[in-house]
Chains A and B, each alone.
Chain A
Amino acid sequence: MGVVIEFKNVTYTYPLTTEPAIKDINLSIEEGKFYGVIGENGSGKTTFCNVIRGFAPSFYKGELKGDVLINGLATTDYEEGQLALTIGYVFQNPFNQISGVKETVFEEVAFGLENFGVPVDEIERRVIDIMELTDITHLAEKNPFELSGGQQQRAALASIIVLEPDILVIDEPTSQLDPEGTESVFKIIAAMKKAKKTIILVEHKVDLIAEYADEILVFEKGHIIKRGITQDVLSDMSLLEHGVQLPQMARVGSELIKRGVKLDYIPVTTKQATEQLQQLLGKESK
């Protein structure tokens, strides 16, 4: 599969600071894969997203060393605004992801498509579909300012994925959601993956990351300290010492192995854990 995002020796420093927020990052992001980004607070995850989208340095100013290439072209070489066509970026605070000029959620979700110059009939069709997918159809006529945190988060997600960008960068989309809402957001993101989108998701809920992500990037103090296939990374118990949260199943699994239970591998998802336990129970009953 092709490489869509490439980091070459990337170091980025915010203005008025001396310590870089991300350091020496070399990385290739492959097309159509789902990347989970984890790490402690302030480890550089959001900066990483901003650098991909080009907001750092175009908006945040500061100093970017090295190259960030999106489809082979450096973010700093893109014409102002054009990256929106390639990268959909849903950021953390859902309360400010409102255009401020639309009176209904429907129009709010349609705002980006209007900017893209999509014909009106097509806008209607796409917005209706996306609102269905993100389960906000019932909010269509509400004022976006009057939505709850969770509703705003869904609306924010909807108004970006309706643009059908090739790359989705999503920064903690579930902070305002209950477990049920969180699960459904992950299902939406998984659906995007099926549609061959490349996904970069910053998320603290590792149990869900374990289930959906293909690969994991672990940030610490601006560095990527570990990366690889989800199964390998999330079963690495040494990460716990770096303050990284690991899935509950992995922790239970490794504890079991430590106590002498013979597991084939450390499970990271509930499904794997169930499989292993069934296998184990099957062995015993023989």
Chain B
Amino acid sequence: MWQEKLRIKKSNPIHGLYPFTKMWITLLYCICAMILSTITIDGYPVYMMASFLIIPVLAAATGVLKKISGVIKSIAIISLFIVLIQGILIKSDLILYSLNVFNLFNINFYTDSLQYGLVLAFSVLNMGCMVAWFFGATDNKELINAFEKRGMGPKASYVLLSTLQMIGVLQKSAKTIMSAQQARGVETEGNVFVRSKAFIPSMIPLILGSITNTEERVLTLESKGFLVKGEKTRLFDVKPNGKEPIALTIGILYAVAILIWRILLWVL
């Protein structure tokens, strides 16, 4: 049966969770990270930093660690720069550590700025990587289908789906055009101006072509009943795998525990 055939099969119980469940878990995690950032030891957001370790573990358990390791790396680099820029370039009263460079000048790390930098950096890291986990573990098609079942209009879902498809197609043809331009001797090396001159003519035929196609696409959609009134059906259907209550319970317990801890620290 085609309905069965079209379903995206996921044997991993976390991977196979319903998109919204994964979304709730992501949201809870991000909120918890923000709460944890307010619990510090000597001014350092140690707990938030430690909670980041959950993400690689979760990603590994979901089976998507490899898939998102590139994103994690690039977010980590940005985070590192945030810490450095904040810690070194924003001056505050207390110098934590002074690095002497060849007896020429000192690079100072300022305590307050470093602490603030760590909060920023780990907020970015925690939220960025958790969202990366979410998208890594959720197929776009599933997510859009889930939203559609929650009342998102067919036009919105069409625009999202076709955007995702078109990016793939355009990425491919951009590369083809670039190599064609190169083969024709159009400069893609050289200085900025030479390169910019190559850039514009490579874009325009690409765009014009897609606009012309759009016109016919409108007629295609209309002919295929896209604007017909009434409920639409869907061959593709994302279904829960049954583990959602457990996953959600764990997420909520984690959040509640951190919330209680936070409140206790205030009260005590």
Q: Which residues of A contact B (CB under 8 A)?
A: 53, 55, 59, 79-82, 84-85, 88-91, 93, 96-101, 104, 106-107, 110-120, 123-124, 127, 145, 159-160, 163
Contacts and interface: CB of A to CB of B under 8 A. Distances in A.
Contacts of B224: 84, 99, 111-112, 115, 159-160, 163
Contacts of A97: 216, 220, 223
A82 B237 CA distance: 26
A90 B229 CA distance: 21
Nearest to A140: B2
Contacts, number: 105
Interface string B140-162: 00000000000000100010011
Contacts of B166: 100
A93 B219 CA distance: 11
B217 interface: yes
B264 interface: no
Contacts of A160: 223-224
B225 A163 contact: yes
B216 A123 contact: no
Interface secondary structure of B, over-half rule: helix
Contact of A96 (B169, B220, B231): B220
Interface of B: 1-3, 6, 154, 158, 161-162, 165-166, 169, 213, 216-237
Which of A100, A120, A163 lies at the interface centre, i.e. has the most chain B CB atoms within 10 A of its CB?
A: A100
A154 B92 CA distance: 72
B171 to A, nearest CB: 14
A53 B224 CA distance: 12
B226 A123 contact: no
Given A81-B222, A85-B225, A114 B234 contact: yes
A85 B216 contact: no
Contacts of A123: 233, 235
Contacts of B1: 124
11 contacts: A82-B228, A84-B225, A89-B223, A101-B158, A112-B223, A115-B226, A116-B232, A118-B233, A124-B3, A124-B235, A127-B2
B167 to A, nearest CB: 12
Contacts of A106: 2
A117 B223 contact: no
Nearest to A55: B219
A145 B169 contact: yes
Contacts of B230: 116-117
Contacts of A85: 225, 228
A84 B229 CA distance: 11
Contacts of A104: 6
A258 to B, nearest CB: 45
B162 A100 contact: yes
A127 B3 CA distance: 12
Nearest to B234: A114
A121 to B, nearest CB: 8
B156 to A, nearest CB: 12
A101 B162 contact: yes
A223 B154 CA distance: 40
Contacts of A59: 218-219, 222
B233 A80 contact: no
B216 A91 contact: yes
A79 B229 contact: yes
A84 B222 contact: yes
